[in-house]
Amino acid sequence: MRIEVFADIACPWCYIGEKRLEQALQQRPGLEVELEWKPFQLQPGIPPGGYPWEEFMARKFGGLERMRSAFEQVARAGRAEGLEFNFDRVARAINTADGHRLILWAARAGRQWPLAEALFRAYFTDGKNLNDPGDLLEVVASAGLDREAAREFLAGGELRDAVEESQRLAGRFGVQGVPFFVFDRKYALSGAQPVEVFLQVLDHVAHEQVTAS
């Protein structure tokens, strides 16, 4: 079964949705699943250095109180999945293009999901600035990848077109927000759905595969 996960590393609900899918897959250990990260930038227009986090988010949500209320809801949902969100540590709203490029690069070594998890945790739990090359490379190393190879990769433009193509593919699929999960290019789930919903879709797709064979 092929599952394509359209997500952004600066999206807290993507972190929660990815964790819920992981939990569902753990409950179906017999499934053979190819899990593929698909880059989607929620804010592709953010400059490479990013914007001040609180100022940017307050504008987005229509004020500080609305922003804080929204993120408290996210934090509660995250705690239920064993995730720690420390929004008070986040300093920058980031451009995520290089993070996406690194995840695609890490896939060559079979490390795309460890790196994606490390990037989510670095940003939302530790407050790392993922537009700072030093912070970004520190996360790469923590995920078991070669820091110097990553530095050389980031210095070029490789896989930038793949990030842009993934954004266009999302548009063709009608994706307007993430996380967005596509199963065998036949079924889709939008949002950080409960584990039970993921299980229902996994079972349905697996049943279809058996009856079609």
The structural domains of the chain, with segments of one domain joined by +, span 2-212
Cα first-last separation, the chain: 13
Q: At CA 103, angle to CA 25 and CA 12, rounded to 5?
A: 65
pLDDT score recorded for residue 11 = 98
Enumerate residue ranges in the chain where pLDDT < 70. Answer: none
| Tens-digit pLDDT profile for residues 57-109 | 999 999 999 999 999 999 999 999 999 999 999 999 999 999 999 999 999 99
CATH fold for the domain made of 2-212: Glutaredoxin (3.40.30)
3-state helix, strand, coil in the chain (%, to 5): 55, 10, 35
pLDDT score recorded for residue 6 = 98
CA–CA separation, 181 vs 34, rounded Å?
13
pLDDT score recorded for residue 53 = 95
Q: Which tokens belong to 128?
A: 């790392």
Total-model pTM: 0.96
pLDDT score recorded for residue 212 = 82
